[in-house]
Amino acid sequence: MPGRTKVILVGVRTWIEGWPVYRQLTGTDPLGRGAAAQSPRSKALTARTETADRVAKSVCPYCAVGCGQRIFVKDEKVVQIEGDPDSPISRGRLCPKGSASLSLVTSPRRQQHVLYRKPFGTDWERLDLETAMDMIADRVLTAREETWEDNDAEGRPLNRTLGISSLGGATLDNEENYLIKKLFTALGAIQIENQARI
Amino acid sequence: MGSNSLYGPLDPAPDAGYVDAPPRMGFFTDTSVCIGCKACEVACKEWNAIPDDGFNLLGQSYDNTGGLSANTWRHVAFIEQPVVPSLTDALAAAGTQFLGMPLSDLPGRVTEAPRTDFRWLMMSNVCKHCTHAGCLDVCPTGSLFRTEFGTVVVQEDICNGCGYCIAACPYGVIDRREDDGRAWKCTLCYDRIGDGLTPACAQACPTQSIQFGELDELRTRAAERVDALHEAGVESARLYGHSEDDGVGGDGAFFLLLDEPEVYGLPPDPIVTTRDLPDMWKRAGIAALAMAASVAVSFLGRRG
Amino acid sequence: MAEAHPVGFQWVVEAKNRGAKVIHVDPRFSRTSALAHTHVPVRAGADIAFLGGIVNYILENEKDFREYVLAYTNASMIVSEDFQDTEDLDGLFSGFDPSTNTYDQSSWMYAGHEKHGQEHGESHVQRETAAGQQHESHGAPLPGDVPRDPTLQDPRCVYQILRRHYRRYTPEVVERLCGVPQAAFLEVCEAWTANSGRERTTALVYSVGWTQHSVGVQYIRTGAIIQLLLGNMGRPGGGVLALRGHASIQGSTDIPTLFNLLPGYLPMPHHEQHETFQQWIDAIRHPGQKGFWANAEAYAVSLLKAYFGDAATAENDWGYGWLPRLTGDHGTYRQALDMIDGKIKGYFLLGQNPAVGSAHGRAQRLGMANLDWLVVRDLYMIESATFWKNGPEVATGEITPETCRTEVFLFPAASHAEKEGTFTQTQRILQWREQAVEPPGDAHSELWFFYHLGKRIRARLAASTLPRDKGIQNLTWEYGDDEPSSEKVLQEINGYDLSTGDLLSTFNQMKPDGTTSGGCWIYTGVFADGVNQAARRKPGREQSWVAPEWGWAWPANRRTLYNRASADPDGNPWSSRKAYVWWDPAAGEWTGHDVPDFEKTKPPSYRPPEGATGVEAISGDDAFIMQGDGKGWLFAPAGLIDGPMPTHYEPAESMVRNPLYGQQANPTRKVYDRSDNPTNPSPPEQHTEVFPYVFSTSRLTEHHTAGGMSRQLAYLSELQPEMFVEVSPALAAERGLDHLGWAHIVTARAAIEARVLVTERLTPLRIEGRIVHQLWLPYHWGSEGLVTGDSANDLIGITLDPNVLIQESKVGTCDIQPGRRPVGPALLSFVEDYRRRAGLVPGHHTPIVTTHSAEDADGEQ
């Protein structure tokens, strides 16, 4: 079977050429420290940013310098976050925290489920998201009901509750802060605060 | 210098058999603008998915990773240089007895003119990617190899963890990882630079203390930087690892320092550990090649 | 800056390489100092003395940029003859009322306008509601026509008043008070003044630890006075630049989640001052006032239209009646104490960790342990979610899970990569983020959470007939089906022309007649031309150095505020080197590198007609267009609680008697005088030796605030794995502290332990003839995460700046001793013993007014 023989010969040649000692003896690298020593893995190496499915343009979530970030996504997973060289603010650079953004986003330590601690409870238990949302809505309305103030002593409107508080971090988006303030204000909750006070 | 030399100036990639090799690439780390932020350490670990080095307060100023290791391929050293006379004055004024503190008496300081300012030196250290790399020379498996960019890389699919390279490094850079036994060190982001990207540490560095580029160009830039610093009165600025005539034929990753190398924990006069190997090889060369050929033949024969 | 904003610091390095001189003033030698030409160690809490000394140097040596000062500041304006200075009153200004510890400010007003000054009693309300924060976008109200002396010789003109006020802030006093040798101080003065003027500018950069003082606002005011005197405001390379610490902390004040503000710095209605819509509007725009705030009604009505849509009509005052009312201080610290007192039922924590990050951690945790319910939304498990089982009070027995009634919910939140939206960074630039991936598991954005919480609540209240539910029923609340659209929200913030449905391009299009909407008037224009301007990403290298096509800056994409001042009164650049914005007579308009901060076609020669108000009243050389008089204020005739000029007061906790005045500390500071919030004694009180050292706290490069985003990550935790305290070798010797050994630090609130780093980066200072030791702590640690440790904020008590109600957390007094702290209930008695020795026993009250006459009066009793 001539065809088969040929295939084997080609295969052997490829195999031989791939063998470092052969390359070392026949090539330009007789000491076997460079071209001849390159492993198949090394030869195939490519940066995972190059094989990403897409890149999202983002901004670092730590301090307020506002460094540009590029978030590389492969198979719906974040595979790399690095500085955006286009940014006139940061010119592609990141500090150690910004450089750790990949860990921040992908860490297995991140919480992924609602946890609930009963009054006087000694440990957490899991809670279904929908149930938890309903429980919060109930509690907000109850607290509001119990602490509602229509008027002050002189009959001027107060229209508020002092039974509900909120303290937000300053990594919230403007759009989020807008909805938080809008909802709480309409509910009469005024004790709405932020890291910006701290 | 002739080809395949283990000592003296040469361009390592063509020497290692690369035809039409791209320009030699490297790092110029300018410690005069290092702010010790450690972005390089983190960016390196994120890109290369290196394990952490453990959570240990070392008390070496702000350095808590201790040095280059299998798990730390960029390492920022912090050196606090107090001013002894003014401190003494202050304490005398305070009427307090100074009982001393565990400051290391750093070598090199005595040779300098006495400084009048407190200094906090920071330096991001890394594998030097030597022109003559002892680690590579002694590697029996071909795991350590010279890339087309002239850099030195451990190939993790080949390394068997023999550890010869560790003793061979004149800088004490390369190290074995405890859990898998293999040797690890900076690859100068071989995967990234192959795609025309900048290594992760240099990409992140906020102040361009770490600069990546063609080594020739970096050397020119570094010389200009030293001149500029001298002109600005920073007379202590000097280069380290830039000279092709040093004991390793020059480093692919070289530095601008503000004090003697020993202050930063760098050897003042590193020499490739395999400098004398060629002489030995001259005597053993024929035999070695013959043996290698017979190994090849027997291997082929067995396979056939 | 290199420590906490390393990437921003690249520009300092760049400037340095181009020849700029970098001076770093900080109690401790930090990574910033390492790269600066000069590090000036200063005593924590003495900044006004230091900067006031520079003001004195400028004025005594006439180093001010006189042409700029005359044209653009209120230097020439004549102040009421009723005004008395701290120099006259032993540290108080005229108008002090010891019954409320606030000022009747009418005597601080310009001559002839005393009736416009803050009225008696009003100042108290202003403090309670942190009204000073409204001035983030505009000055306090003020009439336009003010008597002036352009020769600056009138003894009652601002220039001369300023001179007298700072005359005692000499280099000798700076040395005594700040511990800065005169030579080092004069080097700073000379460098700053020599590098300012027509051809050169100097930037003053601060990090927001500066705000965390009982005189925080006045620190920044002092910096602003220097920059105005030297002509550095509104000019390239100049300014007072705040390095804010969180990705959108600027946005969090612009579109506030703050009790006292509505979006765009509109005040939350106060039950007394703003009972009616008209009172509210007039309080903002001040009829007859100059400047852009005259249009406040348009901004306010547009907000109410954005909130309530068609339900907001002229007949119902645009729904003003549905807004809740303030009665006083409802700030986060008031809330924590109210939680302890059982007044608050439920608490939301949204990416915030007060158990570690807020002052007086113990009060925070005890408050949280006394709620009906607590909702924590975060990426990771944080201390504020586990105070009931892992907090320090569990160790002391003050909280036990079996007796803690608080119901706790922990919701997983979405990270920045998992949601789209805008952050507003420290230079007011909004940058839109694209969503990279979906959040994991049940994690969701705050947008999702509040949208769906709102939907649920609206559904439950849909049938209600109670008046209180009208606001929530009428709220516009349609942002999509499951995932709310951030873009839609940002468009609502930008605002619409309701008659055409088009997005507005500028707030000048807003109308008070209900035909426009807009959720935050200063953000109008972020959707100019219907395009998301915040998403612009034209590479920096492809545009001018101002980079106006990267993101969008409020207001109107302006990158440098008050940039009219970069040109001289005639509209020409002060110098070609410093050209930024100028008048083009041929084109008849302002032009330049940035969006001019001035009406585009109003010429420099314009002078307002008699009786003009609002925008029409802004003169062609009124560079500070949001100020009521168009001028930069060297002297603040209104708007500040604690005085028209910054005055050195000692921190609320100090071991030094104020060398300048009998008045020891800011007499108007906000205090919560209660037994669970004790203050360490300061002179003239006794027992200051119990807490003999000064401490300060700040960030490390390797960690982020309370650690929720850094101590959970191995690559950051390994870089700074343990809580530590930095002490000088001299203090180590004095207290027997060993490098890497343990020490515990004690205040009247708490004792915490830390590993010791002995370093010469901390220097003992000579203050008033004695040595003062300062120690420094990072504040990142707590009980959760990969690396844990005691929290520095546990040491700190609650005393606030009166203008903005921000806590004094950057300076306090303490003791430090070698070894670990006691554990368990013994810790409580240990701290109790310190309190007893310091005289902080039941019935003790920290004196507020300590002028010599007050002291004498006390002595007679």
pLDDT in tens, C72-128: 999 999 999 999 999 999 999 999 999 999 999 999 999 988 877 665 567 888 888
> For the residues C448-452, what does the mean pLDDT come to?
98
Whether residue C799 has pLDDT greater than 90 = yes
pLDDT tens for each residue of C567-623? 999 999 999 999 999 999 999 999 999 999 999 999 999 999 988 888 899 999 999
> For the residues A160-177, what does the mean pLDDT come to?
97
Q: Does A59 touch chain C (CB under 8 A)?
A: yes
B151 lies in the same domain as B263: yes
Q: Assign residue B160 the CATH number of its domain.
A: 3.30.70.20
Q: Lay out the sheet containing B238-240: strands in order across.
A: B210-214, B25-30, B253-257, B238-240
B86 lies in the same domain as B127: yes
DSSP per-residue letters across C133-149: GGGGSS-----S---B-
Mutate to test the interface with C, among B40, B46, B62, B234 (most CBs of C within 10 A): B62
> For the residues B31-52, what does the mean pLDDT come to?
98
Question: What interhelical angle do C361-368 and C332-340 show, nearest 10?
Answer: 60
Q: Which chains would you list as touching C if contact means 3+ CB atom pairs under 8 Å?
A: A, B
- Domain edge (last residue) among C185, C214, C239: C239
Is residue C264 one of the residues assigned to a domain? yes
Torsion of CA C461, C464, C470, C472, to 10 degrees: 0
Q: Does A22 touch chain C (CB under 8 A)?
A: no
* pLDDT band of A25, cuts 50, 70, 90: low
* pLDDT band of C131, cuts 50, 70, 90: confident
B113 lies in the same domain as B259: yes
Total domain count, chain B = 2
Whether residue B99 has pLDDT greater than 80 = no
C269-279 burial, b if ≥16 CB within 10 A, otherwise e?
bbbbbbbebee
Confidence (pLDDT) at B291: 53
pLDDT tens for each residue of C717-747? 999 999 999 999 999 999 999 999 999 999 9
Q: Does C417 touch chain B (CB under 8 A)?
A: no
Q: Does C594 touch chain A (CB under 8 A)?
A: no
pLDDT tens for each residue of A169-183? 999 999 999 999 999
> Residue C742, class by beta-carbon neighbours within 10 Å (0-12 exposed, 13-18 middle, 19+ buried)?
middle
Print the domain residue range for B294: 274-304
C171 lies in the same domain as C228: yes
Mean pLDDT lowest among B278-282, C226-230, C647-651: B278-282
Give the whole-number percent of chain C exceeding pLDDT 90: 92
Q: Assign residue C804 the CATH number of its domain.
A: 2.40.40.20
* pLDDT band of A36, cuts 50, 70, 90: confident
Is residue B254 one of the residues assigned to a domain? yes
Is residue B38 one of the residues assigned to a domain? yes
What are the residue ranges of helices labelled H in A33-173?
40-44, 96-99, 101-106, 129-147
C360 three-state secondary structure: coil
> Residue B96, class by beta-carbon neighbours within 10 Å (0-12 exposed, 13-18 middle, 19+ buried)?
middle
**Cα end-to-end distance, chain B, whole Å:** 42
Q: Please, what sign has the CA dihedral across residues A99, A105, A110, A115?
A: positive
CA nearest A173: which of C534, C706, C475? C534
CA nearest C593: which of C568, C559, C565, C624? C559
C69 lies in the same domain as C157: yes
C438 lies in the same domain as C501: no
Partner-chain residue, chosen from C358, C422, C443, that has the shortest CB–CB distance to A112: C443
pLDDT tens for each residue of C489-523? 999 999 999 999 999 999 999 999 999 999 999 99
What is the number of residues in chain C? 861
- Return the residue matching tokens 């302890």: C340
* pLDDT band of A8, cuts 50, 70, 90: very low
Is residue C825 one of the residues assigned to a domain? yes
B187 lies in the same domain as B64: yes
Partner-chain residue, chosen from A46, A95, A100, that has the shortest CB–CB distance to B206: A95
Is residue B1 one of the residues assigned to a domain? no
C581 three-state secondary structure: strand
- Under an 8 A CB cutoff, do A28 and B296 touch? no
C745 three-state secondary structure: strand
- Under an 8 A CB cutoff, do A34 and B147 touch? yes
Confidence (pLDDT) at C629: 87
CA nearest C704: which of A121, B96, A103, A132? A103
> For the residues C175-188, what does the mean pLDDT come to?
97
> For the residues C313-339, what does the mean pLDDT come to?
98
- Under an 8 A CB cutoff, do C740 and B65 touch? no
As a three-state string, the secondary structure of chain B is CCCCCCCCCCCHHHHCCCCCCCCCEEEEEEHHHCCCCCHHHHHHHHHHCCCCCCCCCCCECCECCCCCECCECEEEEEEEECCHHHHHHHHHHHCCCCCCCCCCCCCCHHHCCCCCCCEEEEEEEECCCECCCHHHHHCCCCCEEECCCCCEEECCCCCCCCCHHHHHCCCCCCEECCCCCCEECCCCCHHHHHCCCCCHHHHHCCCCCEEEEEHHHHHHHHHHHHHHHHHCCCCCCEEECCCCCCECCCECEEEEECCCHHHHCCCCCCECCCCCHHHHHHHHHHHHHHHHHHHHHHHHHHHC
- Return the residue matching tokens 């267009």: C625
Residue type at C262 in one-letter notation:
L
> For the residues C53-74, what does the mean pLDDT come to?
98
What is the number of residues in chain B? 304
B176 lies in the same domain as B301: no
Q: Look at A1 and C699; give whichever has higher pLDDT.
A: C699
Torsion of CA A95, A99, A105, A106, to 10 degrees: -150
Confidence (pLDDT) at C648: 98
B207 lies in the same domain as B225: yes
Average pLDDT of chain B, as a whole number: 85
Contacts of B54 in chain C (CB under 8 A): 718
C-alpha C305/C-alpha C296 separation (Å) is: 14
> For the residues B261-269, what does the mean pLDDT come to?
96
B264 lies in the same domain as B278: no
- Which residues, at least 6 apart from C531, have a Cβ–Cβ distance to it below 8 Å? none
Whether residue C232 has pLDDT greater than 80 = yes
C511 three-state secondary structure: coil
Give me the residues of B, 76-95, that contact A with CB < 8 A. Answer: none
C714 three-state secondary structure: helix
Q: What is the pTM of this model?
A: 0.94
* Element containing residue C672 per DSSP (H, E): none
Listed by start position, the domains of chain A span: 2-44, 54-106, 114-197
* pLDDT band of C140, cuts 50, 70, 90: low
Mean pLDDT lowest among B8-17, B207-216, C318-327, C657-666: B8-17
* Cα C67 to the center of its chain, rounded Å: 31
* Element containing residue C10 per DSSP (H, E): helix C10-17
Total domain count, chain C = 4
Confidence (pLDDT) at B100: 35
Count of beta carbons in the 10 Å neighbourhood of residue B267? 13
Confidence (pLDDT) at A27: 74
Confidence (pLDDT) at A2: 40
Confidence (pLDDT) at C126: 86
B183 lies in the same domain as B63: yes
Assigned token pair, C538: 């034209």
B256 lies in the same domain as B289: no
pLDDT tens for each residue of A37-92? 999 999 999 999 999 999 999 999 999 999 999 999 999 999 999 999 999 999 99
Asked if residues C779 and C698 have their Cβ atoms less than 8 Å apart, the reply is yes
Which residue in chain B is spatially nearest to C8 when comparing CA positions? B206
The helix/strand count (H/E) of chain A reads as: 7, 8
Confidence (pLDDT) at C119: 57
Asked if residues A190 and C324 have their Cβ atoms less than 8 Å apart, the reply is yes
Is residue C12 one of the residues assigned to a domain? no
Contacts of B191 in chain A (CB under 8 A): 45-48
C-alpha distance from C838 to closest chain A C-alpha (Å)? 28
In chain A, the largest separation of any two C-alpha atoms, in whole Å, equals 108
C-alpha distance from C678 to closest chain A C-alpha (Å)? 20
Mean pLDDT lowest among B275-284, C60-69, C275-284, C294-303: B275-284
Q: Look at C32 and B299; give whichever has higher pLDDT.
A: C32
Assigned token pair, B285: 């060369």
pLDDT tens for each residue of B111-153? 344 556 789 999 999 999 999 999 999 999 999 999 999 999 9
CA–CA distances in Å: residue B228 to residues B120, B236, B243, C23, C624: 21, 12, 19, 20, 41
CA nearest C789: which of C824, C834, C744, C726? C744
ipTM of the complex: 0.96
Confidence (pLDDT) at B281: 55
Whether residue C70 has pLDDT greater than 80 = yes
C530 lies in the same domain as C406: no
Q: Assign residue C26 the CATH number of its domain.
A: 3.40.228.10
C134 lies in the same domain as C57: yes
C314 lies in the same domain as C348: no
* pLDDT band of B83, cuts 50, 70, 90: confident
C-alpha A145/C-alpha A141 separation (Å) is: 6
Average pLDDT of chain C, as a whole number: 96
C-alpha C524/C-alpha C532 separation (Å) is: 11
Q: Look at B94 and B61; give whichever has higher pLDDT.
A: B61
- Domain edge (last residue) among C502, C518, C534: C534
* pLDDT band of B288, cuts 50, 70, 90: low
Whether residue B303 has pLDDT greater than 50 = no
Print the domain residue range for C393: 332-461
B155 lies in the same domain as B295: no
- Under an 8 A CB cutoff, do B145 and A40 touch? no
DSSP per-residue letters across C586-620: TTTEEEESS--SS-TT--TT--PPTT--BGGG--T
Instruction: Give CATH for domain A54-106.
Output: 2.20.25.90
> For the residues A123-141, what does the mean pLDDT come to?
98
